[in-house]
Structure 1
Amino acid sequence: MESSFLQSVYYENGILNILDQTKIPEITEFLEITKIEDAWEAIKQLKVRGAPAIGIAAAYGLLLGIKDAPENSFDEFYSVFKKQADYLATSRPTAVNLFWALKRMDDCANNEKDLPVARIKEALENEAHLIRTEDEEVCRSIGEHALTLLHDGMGILTHCNAGGIATARYGTALAPLYLAQENGWDIKVYADETRPLLQGARLTAWELMQAGIDVTLITDSMAAMVMQKGWVQAVIVGCDRVAANGDVANKIGTYGVALLAKAHDIPFFVAAPTSTIDLETKTGADIPIEEREASEITEGFGKRTAPEGVKVFNPAFDVTPHELVSAIITEKGILKGNYQEELPKLFKK
């Protein structure tokens, strides 16, 4: 289980260390980041990816942005803090963990505003560490809850990467697979390659192989056939944002997988830490969807595969309507049915 114990984001001696996920599976390389601009770039360019990992990286990145902030008064300090937080918030628009983590840091700063600024900076570093530690605990709990929906001998399909390297540890959608392995279960995983950036092929397949879990890589267009053959008994994916009605934003292609699961009467599960639940966003139609450069499709990985000048539509995410979601699995339990009513209850527990 090497990869599940590999911290993809950590902060040590004033340096933000990020596993460069754009170089996996060929190279395992950590970036040593000392400037907030480089943290912004790492998030924007998917060097760090996965909603929880983005949130952790943002919290630590903010520490880099405020380390030289003036300490004469809270107002002077907070002016710099707010500017740097707003800057990090522009890196990616869809993953709500980014904004959730920055808000936690903001709340921490304001809660400690009566302390000397040097002490506030220490409190913010502790808060960033807490965000990372809590995520590890959250992922383990999601895995334990998800495991109750699965059984030994199942075939499970997943899309994109929601594993240990996308979080503090274990992952969200992959967490129950690691726990199934701990229990000695025989689980077979089918990993969509996840076009256009191949997170399933480059990351999920690599991560599960590192852990010794039985994984078969398929192209996105093969998912229907694999389901038709009866090789898949459940689909489990992560997510970047859950709207108040249970609509789910996740990597592009997830909606298609959910439709296929519905057509083949296969349960479609979403692993979602409460930090990805956005009760302020009413429906999936209100979730901002990031669009990325055309070159990711036309010249993916350095080779041109489309005509020069062709028009390209390249959304990074799509929205799966709540009607297609069999269950939302959180660290606080499993939700089914009326998500509009059930989601707010999580925050009262």
Structure 2
Amino acid sequence: MVKTMEWQGQSLLLLDQTKLPAEIVTIICEDYRRVGEAIKRLEVRGAPAIGAAAAFAMTLGWQEIIVKYTGAGSETLLIEFKKIKDFLLSTRPTAVNLAWAVNKMYMQVVSLTKEQRSLQDIGTALENLACKIYQDDIAINRQIGVHGAALLPQQASILTHCNAGTLATCGWGTALGVVRQAFEDGRLAMVYADETRPLLQGARLTAWELTEDNIPVTLITDNMAAWVMQTQHLDAVIVGADRIAANGDTANKIGTYGVALAAKHHHIPFYIAAPVSTFDFTLENGNQIPIEERAADEVRLLQGVVTAPRQVKVFNPAFDVTPAEFITGIITEYGVVSAPYTENIKKLQQKLQEED
């Protein structure tokens, strides 16, 4: 499997996903600003990967401010560190893992500052926490894969949308983690990958990483999904998530909602695969999930080639929200959450609070 990122102590290496599959290019991020730009530009993408990258960015930010503000008091350092947190939060509003990671890093500094720990000790603790977030994501994805593969029949055919694989995480993947596990178990016949307009994450990334690992994949355009459901005997649709509300409504890459509607009509199970860090327990329903709207030229152009009138108006939401009623189950590292979602997600939240 390809590596999405690699921590080097004073820099973060990121695989530039905007260049795939034509080129394999590594970006060297030596400060938190460059990581933030990478998140904005989709050079690193996928909710779990964004969260881990942002955690390493917070580490780089702390390394910078303790040099820049040598001799400053803890109050000044915390103010500056919060500015870094707020900058990273602004880079992409929908993926909740980003907020989860940077808030976790910020509260670590607040806690250790109260304990009057040295600046170097705090920096080491931050680095260790970021590395733990990274390593934990890989282990969590493995667990998601096991729980998800158990839902599938022998010789399963699966449809997926966007990219929720190694490239969207720290390794293994969420939706594609289920695919990988099913492949390892010898129970996977085919993965149908939606191309995922306008930025082609399915075509450029999902098809590429599955091909690289010799996992059977067939690429389709987005508007073929319903027909594939009717003609190709699909056993399941499995996608990732960027934010899940307390009632089970789920935000994912634009186009997911339409896929869920078609799956419902064809009586095909529709699963979300995501770590519990993707749940936003503060949101009552999907109407409260912020939806990022991106630049118009992502739709007017395709890989730099003009495909529409330059003056045409464009609506370009990056995500949509699938209502819980269309979701068969949410596959997490704790198992599969199913309806009634409000009740069962509340139980999951209570379990997490007990563990804390």
Q: What's the CA shift for 1:160?
A: 0.1
Q: 1:36 aligns with which of 25, 32, 57?
A: 32
Compute the TM-score of the two structures, normalised by the length of structure 2.
0.95
Across the aligned residues of Structure 1 and Structure 2, the Cα RMSD in angstroms comes to: 1.1
Amino acid at match of 2:320: D
Aligned mates of 2:51, 2:283 — CA distance in 1: 18
Structure 2: which 5+ runs fail to align?
A: 352-356
Q: Which residue of 2 aligns with 1:15?
A: 11
Identity %: 51
Distance 1:188 1:37 in 2: 40
Tell me the SS of whatever aligns to 1:64. helix
1:273-301 superposed Cα distances (whole Å, 9 cap, x missing partner)? 10100010111100000000010010121
Map 1:287-306; keep pairs closer than 5 Å: 287-306=289-308
Give distance in 2, aligned partners of 1:311 and 1:186: 42
Query: Are 1:107 and 2:103 counterparts?
Result: no
SS at match of 2:79: helix
2: CA distance, partners of 1:49 / 1:288: 17
Aligned to 2:253: 251
Deviation at 1:71, TM superposition (A): 5.3
Q: CA deviation at 1:36?
A: 1.7
CA contact (8 A) 1:153 1:186 kept: yes
Residue identity matched to 1:293: A
Is the counterpart of residue 96 in structure 1 residue 96 in structure 2?
yes
How many residue pairs end up in the alignment? Answer: 345
**What pairs up with 1:265-344 in 2 under 5 angstroms?**
265-344=267-346
Match of 2:202 among 195, 200, 205: 200
Q: C-alpha deviations, 1:20-63, integer Å up to 9, x for none? A: 00011111111011022211110000000000000011011112
- The whole-number CA distance in structure 2 between the counterparts of 1:161 and 1:230 is 21
Aligned residue number for residue 347 of structure 2: 345
Give the match for residue 234 of structure 1.
236
* Distance in 2 separating the partners of 1:301 and 1:226: 26
Paired residue type of 1:94: T
**Partner deviation per Cα, 1:302-327 (whole Å, 9 max, x = no partner):** 11111121110000000000000000
Rounded Cα–Cα distance in structure 1 between residues aligned with 2:327 and 2:38:
32
Distance in 2, Cα, partners of 1:125 & 1:348: 29
CA contact 2:179–2:188 (8 Å) conserved in 1: no
1:211 aligns with 213
User: Which sits farther off after the overlay, 176-185 or 228-237?
Assistant: 176-185
SS at match of 2:284: coil
Which of structure 1's runs of 4+ aligned residues deviate more than 2 A?
70-74, 184-187
Instruction: Give me the whole-angstrom Cα distance separating, in 2, the residues matched to 1:210 and 1:231.
Output: 25
1:127 aligns with 2:122: no
1:104-126 per-position Cα deviation (integer Å, ceiling 9, x unaligned): 10121122112012211111111
C-alpha distance in 2 between matches for 1:71 and 1:109 = 17
Secondary structure at the aligned position of 2:303 is classed as helix
Which residue identity does 1:288 align to in structure 2?
A: P
CA contact 1:180–1:187 (8 Å) conserved in 2: no
CA–CA separation in structure 1 for the residues paired with 2:297 and 2:213: 33
Aligned partners of 2:63 and 2:83: how far apart in 1?
13
CA distance in 2, matches of 1:141, 1:111: 30
- The letter for the 1-side match of 2:311 is G
Cα distance in 1 for residues equivalent to 2:166 and 2:154: 22
Q: Look up the SS of the partner of 2:267 in the other structure.
A: coil
Q: Secondary structure at the match of 1:112?
A: helix
Distance 1:68 1:310 in 2: 44
- For 1:186 and 1:325, the matched residues in 2 are separated by 22
Unaligned runs of 5+ in 1: none
Bigger Cα displacement from structure 2, 226-235 vs 286-295: 226-235
Partner of 2:51: 55
The one-character-per-residue Cα deviations of 1:221-265 (angstroms, maximum 9, x if unpaired) are: 001111111431100000000001100000000000000000000
